[in-house]
Amino acid sequence: MARLKAISGLGRKSAALFLVEAGEQRILFDFGDGLEPGEHPDLSEVGVVDAVCLSHAHEDHAGSLMRLGEVGSPPVYATSRCFEQIPEALRLVERRIIPERGGFDLFGMDITVGQCGHAPGGVWFHLPTERGGFLYSGDCSAESESMPLDPFPRAATLLVDASYGDRDSSLSDQREAIIKAADGGAVICCPAAGRGADMVQALLSAGHAVWAEDCIAQEYEAAMGQVVPVVDGMTACPEQVIVTTSSNAEDGLSGALLARGGFRFLFSSHVPKGSPAYPLIEAGEAQWLPWNVHPRLRDVLNWADQCGADQVIPAFIDPASATKLVAGLGKRLVLEREVEI
């Protein structure tokens, strides 16, 4: 028998930390940090674990690695591209490289992984269980141009990225709105190792001249095999269309240009209240437009059917804000923090 205990990540957008107890083994899926400034997950009930499996390197999935000692300093399983994106200071862990698609052995269990469509080198995990299998999607998306999503295998229990709740608009429509909003120059903010390459490609395809921060230019070259010119805090000017980190102008080139002043900002990520983006958007001094990097409502419901799941646990969302999702899942919806899987 295997059990899931959601340490963090249910009920709202917060750090991803899901503990699975399977036989003698205790495995943590993701080891994220909170998104609001000063918000950190409570690890006191985790105890010693045997392994940490990382879906991808974003802060809310891997940002607590400096606290690995609090859970017994276990080995960390992740793809090599995921490890490359983790800040150097946090890389001093016992690393186990896993494939981006295929399988690996974890204490005698045949774990299956596939590309998640959300971050370069990001994966979902499937664990065989007596109850019919457990699938953890991590963050995932079916709509990225440069990052494919491998189909999920069958699983009786699906712990799925439902960050967008009832949002069902498609990236193809959102793309057009951002292309239009970029007319005349804009700083288009995104996280590292995320939507940057897709954004550059969409803006170029629409005829915009596009510049990028060096890290986004590298991602674009790796994904598309093409070059985009680089700007920095000294050379950027407000008439340019610039794709840059960080997603809410906390730091990176977007932070530097916000400090310089005179630039028009477009945001598209989750905006924590404590971030520089929040008051700008509230005051109408910056624009927020959606760009899907998580599943639409229709995707979550399709996957629940395709997996044959009889238990679906929507992660990273307050279910009270997602009435269509709750209705669509019906009896399959599981809201308990602890459940047999």
Chain positions contacting Zn ion, by CB under 5 A: 58, 139
Question: Is the CB of 17 or the CB of 182 nearer to Zn ion?
Answer: 17
* Minimum gap (Å) between residue 216 Cβ and Zn ion: 16
Residues ≥6 apart with Cβ < 8 Å to 308: 132, 154, 155, 156
Residue 234: CA atoms inside 13 Å, Cβ hemisphere, count?
A: 0
* Minimum gap (Å) between residue 168 Cβ and Zn ion: 20
Amino acid identity for residue 146 in this structure? S
The dihedral through the CA atoms of 267, 91, 66, 101 has a sign that is: positive
* Minimum gap (Å) between residue 195 Cβ and Zn ion: 10
Is the link from the previous residue into 80 a cis peptide, with omega within 30 of 0? no
Question: Is the CB of 6 or the CB of 339 nearer to Zn ion?
Answer: 6
* Minimum gap (Å) between residue 302 Cβ and Zn ion: 21
Question: Is the CB of 191 or the CB of 328 nearer to Zn ion?
Answer: 191
Question: Is the CB of 139 or the CB of 213 nearer to Zn ion?
Answer: 139
Question: Is the CB of 139 or the CB of 198 nearer to Zn ion?
Answer: 139
Q: Could you tell me the CA-to-CA distances from 174 to 179, 184, 238, 291 in Å, in that order?
A: 9, 18, 23, 6
Question: Is the CB of 26 or the CB of 294 nearer to Zn ion?
Answer: 294
* Minimum gap (Å) between residue 227 Cβ and Zn ion: 26
Q: Strand runs (DSSP E) across the chain, as ranges? A: 2-8, 17-22, 25-29, 51-53, 76-78, 95-97, 102-106, 109-115, 123-127, 134-136, 157-161, 186-189, 210-212, 241-244, 265-267, 287-288, 311-315, 338-340
Which of 322, 198, 187, 308 is closest to 255 using CA atoms? 187
| φ, ψ (nearest 5 deg) of residue 332 | -80, -15
* Minimum gap (Å) between residue 210 Cβ and Zn ion: 23
Q: What angle do CA 279, 269, 83 make, to 5 degrees?
A: 125
Residues ≥6 apart with Cβ < 8 Å to 285: 265
Question: Is the CB of 83 or the CB of 263 nearer to Zn ion?
Answer: 83
* Minimum gap (Å) between residue 79 Cβ and Zn ion: 14
* Minimum gap (Å) between residue 58 Cβ and Zn ion: 4
Question: Is the CB of 26 or the CB of 58 nearer to Zn ion?
Answer: 58
Which of 58, 61, 35 is closest to 275 using CA atoms? 35
